[in-house]
Amino acid sequence: MTIVAAAEVVADFNSHSDMEVLEVQWGIVGRCNGSSKPARISSLARIAIDDGLDVMTEQGRLPLGRALVEVAIKAPPQTRGGTSWTKLIAGLRFDGFELVAKEKEDSSGLGWGHQRATIFELIRMLPDDVPELDFRDAESEVIRLLDRHGFVVSQGHLQQAMAAFSRGDWSASNGELRKLYEGYLNEIAERLGCDPTETSKNKRAFLGQLNPPFLLSDYNEWDKNESKPQYVQGLMNRFHPHGGHPGLSEEEDATFRLQISLVTARLFLRRFDQRAIT
């Protein structure tokens, strides 16, 4: 999604001739179908995704996908805010990157007096060398485990959440993530013997009271004493806030929910998978 969106943004503010110059610089001239903008975008994104090329840029040699992103984030103000830009920002956030706006002196020499321009810098939100923080991998494993155990409804909620997130519909994404979280815990409880007619809260209690327990009180995941800290219920509460909060954007909140949803789902689905195997 990120690379395709980057190619679309680049095409939004560059002519065919401009894009051909980029292709010459990157050593891929003649490999992109230039009959139309959509065809050119498709070819450029496919090469970046499939071929793993390193190309020459102002920052030195970079993977072609990263080079596309670096060009895309230089989009002029009139390009930002469109559908492709929204998809690019969503994709970068899911990949663990953030765009930070900075003011700099305009050295173009145009205009009177000192001009300032806004530029964007790409920074990594999380360390790239910490295991289990690759959300693309998390998404793939969660989908695989949901599919393996036939959790069809939960898989549908994840797909809807990802689709909503990719188009910048934060509220819809949040709603589907709540359903995902509640859904797979309910399905795990039922697979492990809980009465399907029980409430979601009782199903989570069932998972904590199993012998051996599925939700671990030693890790503060669940406790029969509701006054004690409990991760599972705490996260459920976090998914049901009341209103917005000053200083926190919908985009930031939606990104956090998506990331914590994936790593939590991976933890519990792996645990269920191991129990099912044994």
Number of DSSP helices (H) and strands (E) in the chain, helices first = 11, 4
- For the whole prediction, is pTM greater than 0.85? no
- Output the CA–CA distances (angstroms, integers) from residue 81 to 75, 84, 112, 167, in the order listed: 10, 8, 28, 12
Task: Return the DSSP state at 195.
Answer: -
pLDDT the model gives residue 68: 92
**pLDDT value, residue 229:** 87
Residue-wise pLDDT tens digits, 203-233: 999 999 999 999 999 999 999 898 888 999 9
SS3 assignment, position 102: strand
Structure tokens at 102: 């900075």
Nearest Cα to 128, choosing from 117, 120, 140, 136? Answer: 136
Biggest CA pair distance of the chain: 76
Task: Name the average pLDDT for the chain.
Answer: 85
Residue-wise pLDDT tens digits, 134-182: 666 777 888 999 999 999 999 999 999 988 888 888 889 999 999 999 9
Rounded percentage of the chain residues whose pLDDT exceeds 90: 40
